[in-house]
Amino acid sequence: MANELRPCPCDIGDRFDYGGRGQEVQVEHIKAYVCKPPASTDRAVIVIHDIFGWQLPNTRYMADMLAANGYVAICPDFFVGQEAWKPSNDWATFDDWRKSRNAGKIDKEVDVTLKYLREQYGAKKIGVVGFCWGGAAVQHLMLKNPHLETGVSLYGVIRFFDDRYSLLHPTFFIFAEKDDHIPLEQVTLLEQKLKENCRVDYEVKIYPGQTHGFVHRKREDINPQDKPYIEEGRKDMINWLNKYL
């Protein structure tokens, strides 16, 4: 399941050598990875990838995990054919790269994915989870999309959505204590603003000693000190979905 070589020296973390149990499909104008659960269900989860795109094995591993827990899991290409970020890219160009891949402008792709899940799988209760770039996208959707039931935002970059806290749906926020991209003071401010403005259920949780991407970019077998937190983050994500879907 996992590559025994050490990961490349970049922010990707541990790249899983994982093929996936699902299949790639065409959903109108976008491609997507879909994995079905063992038994039929009317519950589904949209998985929003990070900057490394919809084909990252780590993200497919997470989609398959959701499917194993009873959900139709789908991870669309929210970059719509544009190249995902590569570890070999020059980080000095990152801001320009991100400008053409806005986590707050995925509504069209979400709408066609919702339609696909309803028509092809009979989905009636649909949630969303997202990692990093996708975590920010989850916050956007929880503020805007009335057709989703709940969301889990995993280390979504808060500064993308400053001053927007009136969530429509129950939302769980997962953060890492030692995240270089998301300072703890931003998390504290988010929690404060949610307390003042949010009228639905939410939770903000910080996992001790963890770094950005820990739930899906760290391998349990070569990070023994992190294993309990990786497993806890994944369990918390699934428990939240189970509660609201």
Given the residues 11, 14, 179, 226, the one annotated as active site: 179
Instruction: Indicate if 179 belongs to the active site.
Output: yes
CA 54 to chain centre: 11
Given the residues 14, 35, 75, 132, the one annotated as active site: 132
Burial 92-121 (b: 16+ CB within 10 A, else e): eeeeebeeebebeebeebbebbbebbeeeb
Helices (H), 122-167: 133-144
Q: How far apart are CA 24 and CA 212, in angstroms?
A: 28
Instruction: Indicate if 147 belongs to the active site.
Output: no
Given the residues 49, 140, 212, 216, the one annotated as active site: 212
Distances (CA, A) of 104 to 20, 90, 111, 140, 226: 28, 24, 14, 6, 31
Q: How far apart are CA 18 and CA 93, in angstroms?
A: 29
- Token pair of 50, please? 């990070």
Q: How far apart are CA 48 and CA 17, in angstroms?
A: 20
Which of 133, 206, 113, 203 has its CA nearest to residue 167? 203
Instruction: Check: CB of residue 151 under 8 Å from CB of residue 172.
Output: yes
Hey, which bits of 104-190 come out as E strands?
Answer: 125-131, 150-154, 171-176
Q: How far apart are CA 97 and CA 136, in angstroms?
A: 16
Instruction: Indicate if 75 belongs to the active site.
Output: no
Q: Which residues are catalytic?
A: 132, 179, 212
